[in-house]
Structure 1
């Protein structure tokens, strides 16, 4: 089971956060995520510059799609969906 699904489980059929309640959590953590990404993944890029590049509406949609998978899919299926959505092109 993936980390997000494991942390969200209370039991076999119960979750801390219900499937339809993620919108508030996603909205609340966007700034922190942008700040962390700017520092860690993009070698100190200014978070304000990164914020201008991010399509928050699309990020919100994809986040919800991926979180929804944690309620019904096994980890391998989730990884395959992530791979298909975020293709990395090597030059």
Structure 2
């Protein structure tokens, strides 16, 4: 038997996932146990690590464009780190 109270991700969920929490919870109801939660956590940690490496690589590639970037991010409503909307 599964444990309906197990959450596959730590709170708070990433922004793009928040809208999907209800759907995910319904899809996993009754058949999601600690083993599944562990696998989800491991996958999410892996994705977080990959995204961090990707972000670092982008930052490194942006060094030659520092001045242009500073000018662009000085525009009201444009920030240095826009929020990720994610898939869906």
Highest RCO, 1 vs 2 (Cα 8 Å, sep ≥ 6): 2
Q: Which has the higher helix share?
A: 1
> Is the TM value for this pair above 0.5?
no
| Structure with greater Cα Rg | 2
